[in-house]
Structure 1
Amino acid sequence: MTSATPTIERRAFAELRTAGRRLEGYAATFGSAAQLGSFSETIAPGAFRSALAGDVLALLDHDPAKVLGRTRSGTLRLSEDSRGLAFSLDLPDTQAGRDILALADRGDLGGMSFGFLVPEGGESWSGSTRTLRAVDLREISVVSAWPAYPDTEIALRSIMRGNEAARRRRILVMAENASWA
């Protein structure tokens, strides 16, 4: 069986607030079941523990060209508490930062999302329920409208392996690129 290159998965949540030029809230919450196509998923407490020591980016709409902050520079702070993955982001004085602040103040933002990989042994399955026990957190994103990819596409990438997964990924990328053309 051929192993496919890991694809970053994304999940969205809708809790954030402003405090001056700072955006705060939760990028993920523990224990809530999310329906993702053919399976449901929960995040176990402690799933982000090892990722908190790494360099995590804060992005706008999962776009690596729109960096809003990062843990390495101290402009993004992440912590786990009993509720989930809390964040505090000092918004930059850039056009993107000012836009985020204005949209957050008006209540127009779609929420938060996060991009991650699942390391070996980081998930467990019980029937069609997946529990994330450890994740390799790459980024959190302020989502201006909706998550970058519909959950059904995420579900397909999450559970398929081998050549079939690679074929479907190519189809999804081609469809995505066509929608931007």
Structure 2
Amino acid sequence: MSKIITGYAVRFNEETVISGLWREKVAPSAFEKSLRDYPDVLALYGHDYNRVLGRTAAGTLELRPDRIGLDFTLYVDESTPDGLTALGNVRRQDISGCSFSFAPTRETWLEGDDYELPLRIIEEAMLFEISIVSLPAYPTTSATLLERSADTTPMANASNARRRVAEREAAMRRRGIAI
């Protein structure tokens, strides 16, 4: 049985407040160029570059932008201490969110009024890494543990797909996200 952590590292067009200073949201196409031109993205534990959990170049991290956000699948190595830590914390939902490290290459700032913070829209950015974290800046991100068997028959694939959807829906409900 392989251990997989999946979820959304980024949710598009959802605002959050950064350090109490500005609002921010990520446009749906923000990472298209980065993922195409620089496809080696890391998956880290808590933004720590010494705690690598996977990477796209190694095939242990898959990133897929969809209509909701940047969907990820992380194939976790149980033979590493960090892999076991990540699996345990996500399984218990002590860690259920994600964060990401990026450098904006195109952004728009909209000035807020007296009662509203300025809004930064990330239109294009270089994506360096995603991380599973306990306190994400974007609270609607998600990280959920999937446990899959190696059975890849059509019946097993359908069962795994239904289970994955159910687990994501349950994780979203736990976070108060309407589905």
For normalisation by structure 2, the TM-score amounts to 0.67
In structure 1, runs of 5+ residues without a counterpart are: 1-18, 152-181
Partner of 1:157: none
Alpha-carbon separation, structure 1, partners of 2:99 and 2:21: 20
Instruction: Give the 3-state SS of the residue equivalent to 2:49 in structure 1.
Output: strand
Query: What amino acid does structure 1 have at the position aligned with 2:70?
Result: L
TM-fit CA distance, 1:20: 4.7
Alpha-carbon separation, structure 1, partners of 2:129 and 2:10: 12
Query: What amino acid does structure 2 have at the position aligned with 1:76?
Result: L
Q: Is the 8 A contact 1:26 1:85 kept in 2?
A: yes
Query: What amino acid does structure 2 have at the position aligned with 1:77?
Result: E
TM-fit CA distance, 1:126: 1.4
Partner of 2:86: 100
Q: Is the 8 A contact 2:10 2:99 kept in 1?
A: yes
TM-fit CA distance, 1:105: 1.3
**Structure 1 vs Structure 2: percent identity of aligned residues?**
39
Instruction: Give the 3-state SS of the residue equivalent to 1:59 in structure 2.
Output: strand
Alpha-carbon separation, structure 2, partners of 1:129 and 1:106: 35
Alpha-carbon separation, structure 1, partners of 2:29 and 2:109: 17
Alignment of 1:1-150 (within 5 A): 20-36=2-18, 37-53=20-36, 54-93=39-78, 94-119=80-105, 122-127=106-111, 128-143=118-133, 145-147=134-136
Which runs of structure 1 show a deviation greater than 3 angstroms over 4 or more consecutive aligned residues? Answer: none
Cα deviation per residue 1:78-128 (whole Å; 9 max; x = unaligned)?
A: 010000111000001211111111121111115111001112xx1011111
Query: What amino acid does structure 2 have at the position aligned with 1:72?
Result: A
- Structural RMSD (CA): 1.8
Alpha-carbon separation, structure 2, partners of 1:106 and 1:80: 27
TM-fit CA distance, 1:41: 0.9
For normalisation by structure 1, the TM-score amounts to 0.66
Partner of 2:167: none
Instruction: Give the 3-state SS of the residue equivalent to 2:35 in structure 1.
Output: helix
In structure 2, runs of 5+ residues without a counterpart are: 112-117, 139-179
TM-fit CA distance, 1:146: 2.6
Pairs aligned (count): 128
Instruction: Give the 3-state SS of the residue equivalent to 2:57 in structure 1.
Output: coil
Alpha-carbon separation, structure 2, partners of 1:130 and 1:61: 24
Alpha-carbon separation, structure 2, partners of 1:71 and 1:103: 22
Alignment of 1:152-163 (within 5 A): none
Q: Is the 8 A contact 2:90 2:96 kept in 1?
A: no
Q: Is the 8 A contact 1:52 1:79 kept in 2?
A: no
Partner of 1:8: none
